[in-house]
Amino acid sequence: MPIPNLPESQPNSEVDESFDDLLSQYEKSHARSAEDGGKQLQGTVIAISAESVLLDIGFKVEGVLPLKLFQDAGETVHPGDTFPVSAQGRNEEGYYTLSRFKVAQPKDWTSLERAFADKSTIAGTVTAVVKGGLNVDVGVRAFMPASRSGAHDAAEMEKLVGQEIRCRILKLEVEEEDVVVDRRVVMEEEAVSTKERRYAEVKEGDTVRGEVRSLTDYGAFVDLGGVDGLLHVSDIAWGRVNKPADVLSLGQQIEVKILKIDTEKRRIALGMKQLQPHPWDSLAEKYKTGERVRGTVTRVVEFGAFVELEPGIEGLIHLSEMSWAKKVRKAGDLLKPGETVEAVVLAMNADERRISLGLKQALGDPWADVAQRFAVGSVVEGPITSITKFGAFVQLSEGVEGMIHVSEISAEKHIQHPQDVLKLGQTVKAQVLEIDPVKRQFRLSIKQMIPTSLEEYIAEHKEGDPVTGRVLDTSNERARVELGEGIQAMCRMTAESSAASPLHAESLSESKPDLSSLSAMLKARWKDGAPSRVSKPEALQAGQIRSFRIAKLDAASKQIELQLA
């Protein structure tokens, strides 16, 4: 075994040192090694080579350990490091061969008998794999059954060959030189001891390294150096993790934080995400109210859908914020898990870890420009979406509905219930009566679309046309005149028309004209506007049939103004 180069020794000032003195020192050191062999020693690393580690153990001669022992255990060693060792003897170079075990290997049958009686742990070296188990050198050849080796399979047993192990004597027959040893019981005791020590060492809040030992659907078990901790799937990352195997692998070295220790149940809860900044802490810097965002639907529930904007940050789209056009009864009718959506941030509360999102707002508010798209008095068309006892709702565009009140359905008859004349899905035309964008209300009318006799009369006449009508009543300034059935006009009262003739007034009170004949005469004269035979100076009185001239026609307001002819 190559030995590391040591610093050159200082010249000895005593030149008279004889060969006999050196031999005496050598014999004494050997005697000491035989006497102290197997005892616990404290070794200090003084040099390291490619294969060996040289240690000062307090003897005249240093001891050596194979560097591979540290490499196999995943340890690093540096000059100045100290740890307990025991001397096992000398090698061909004269250095002590050391063991890191705190127990020694028996030298004779007497020491084996003492170890068997005391049930103490001894050291041994595995020499070969044989039928049913292993051969172990414990000062004499011993047999170790495979079931007591601590190995899980033949491959692990092969790896034990050449290794120094700790074991306990199960059977000892000196006369037959039959020795049976057990490694498994020592490993189990050491595991319990290590676990107890490790439980005492770790504390809540500590950050430790460990190895992923096993993976389940609900988490990962991590070996923290003799004791296992559970890393729950919800504590792996701030983002949603479906299965631990998606982000972790067996044997992986990870850094975790100890979240909780249950000393009674011997359980340790671990967390990985707790070592990273919480994404909600910087929420205000990343998102603003009214901002458009993109995310992935993670869950769909009865009242809405959760959307992941980034790992660890989810927002909720409530049912009421999904569509302008219709009332959504189930979120699953519109959204599915895994779907990417665009939404608008409606509200944020970092303290409560909540973000409210709107899906319909990302499509634009359809009521924003209704006044420009649908003017009052214009005619619109659309399907009936719902019918109530007071009216029917008509869809004018995506997210915009107008209401036709029951009183605005028909001008010809009284409607008891809208469903008597209208049906769901029926396409109707209606006139816009009123728009209120703030209240999101649209008033429509069907009956305004049906032409009336007044509209027909206005369409057939023009300003200046002579007409005949019956005075219905008068006031100080105006007289109401009937031009035909359902057609009325107003005539301004002038000084001339209001000056009543006593003679005419008397004739009116005595004669009492036949109104049925007057009506017939009016019907005959409405079309041709033939002048009546009433003298001009006569004042306007209720019941008179007079000649007029159309002064003004207003089709929009459906009003007619007259003046005396």
Please choose, from the candidates 204, 206, 233, the residue with its C-alpha nearest in 3D space to the C-alpha of residue 217.
233
Which residues form the domain of 377? 370-449
Q: Last residue of a domain, which of 382, 414, 449?
A: 449
pLDDT digits (tens, 9 = 90+) for 419-462: 888 998 899 888 888 888 888 888 998 887 766 677 778 888 89
With 60 as the cut, is the pLDDT of residue 5 above it?
no
- For 312-346, the pLDDT digits (tens) are 888 999 988 888 766 777 888 888 998 999 999 99
475 and 547 housed in the same domain: yes
Q: Which of 215-224, 282-291, 517-526 bottoms out in mean pLDDT, i.e. has the lowest?
A: 517-526
Looking at the DSSP assignment, which residues form a beta bridge with residue 135? Answer: 128, 143
Closest CA to 272 of 232, 242, 312, 301: 232
Residue 437: inside a domain: yes
Query: What pLDDT does residue 419 have?
Result: 87
SS3 of residue 527 by DSSP: helix
Domain-embedded: residue 194: no
Cβ contacts of 283 within 8 Å, gap of 6 or more: 313, 348, 350, 355
Domain count across the chain: 6
Residue 195 lies in a domain: no
Q: Is the pTM of this model over 0.75?
A: no
Same domain? 462 vs 541: yes
Mean predicted confidence (pLDDT) in 56-84: 81
Assigned domain for 4 exists? no
Which range has the worst mean pLDDT, 17-26, 177-186, 474-483? 17-26
Would you say residue 263 lies in a domain?
Answer: yes
Mean pLDDT to the nearest integer, 361-378: 80
Neighbours of 367 (CB within 10 A): 20
Residues 262 and 292 in one domain: no
Q: What is the pLDDT of residue 269?
A: 93
CA distance 440 to 334: 24
| pLDDT for the residue 21 | 54
In this model, does residue 527 exceed pLDDT 60? Answer: no
Q: Is residue 355 part of a domain?
A: yes
Average of pLDDT values for 348-368? 84
pLDDT at 450: 66
Which tokens belong to 458? 């206005």
Model confidence at 256: pLDDT above 90: yes
* Position 12 pLDDT exceeds 90: no
- pLDDT, residue 102, reads 56
Average pLDDT, the chain: 80
Q: For residue 326, give the H/E element and its range.
A: none
Query: Both 351 and 395 in a single domain?
Result: no
- Asked if 128 and 138 count as a contact pair (C-beta separation under 8 A), the reply is no
Instruction: Provide the pLDDT confidence category of residue 497 given band limits of 50, 70 and 90.
Output: low
Answer yes or no: is 72 within a domain: yes
Examine the domain organization and report whether 285 and 306 are in the same domain. yes
Give the pLDDT confidence score for residue 498 in this predicted structure: 60
**459 and 555: one domain?**
yes
Are residues 67 and 150 located together in one domain of the fold? no
Same domain, 435 and 486: no
Domain boundary among 226, 243, 275: 275
User: Which of 138, 158, 188 is the C-terminal boundary of a domain?
Assistant: 188
CA–CA distance, 341 with 355 (Å, rounded to integer) = 15
Q: Same domain for 286 and 338?
A: yes
Q: What is the CATH number of the domain that holds 431?
A: 2.40.50.140
* Band of residue 523 on the pLDDT scale cut at 50, 70, 90: low
Percent of the chain with pLDDT over 70: 82
Q: How many helices (H) and strands (E) does the chain have?
A: 11, 30
User: How confident is the model over 148-166, as pLDDT tens digits?
Assistant: 998 888 999 998 998 888 8
Q: How far is Cα 398 from Cα 323, in angstroms, rounded to an integer?
A: 9
Is 170 part of any domain? yes
**pLDDT confidence of residue 550:** 93
Token pair listed for 388? 């109530």
Give the CA distances from residue 134 to residues 113, 157, 179, in Å, rounded to whole numbers and listed in that order.
21, 8, 12
Place of tokens 């109707």: 428
Q: Could you read off the pLDDT of 26-51 as tens digits, one per residue?
A: 444 444 443 444 566 788 999 998 88
- The CA-atom distances, in angstroms, between 460 and each of 92, 188, 331, 455, 527 are 135, 113, 58, 9, 10
For the residues 544-564, what does the mean pLDDT come to?
A: 88
**Residues 150, 221: one domain?**
no
Across 489-494, average pLDDT: 86
Residues 479 and 499 in one domain: yes
Which of 37-41, 109-113, 496-500 has the weakest average pLDDT?
496-500
CA 18 to CA 29: how far, in whole Å? 17
**Do residues 185 and 150 lie in contact, with contact meaning Cβ atoms separated by under 8 Å?**
no
- For the ranges 194-203, 530-539, 542-551, which has the lowest average pLDDT? 530-539
Q: Among 384-388, 444-448, 504-508, which is the least confidently predicted range?
A: 504-508
Do 232 and 292 share a structural domain? Answer: no
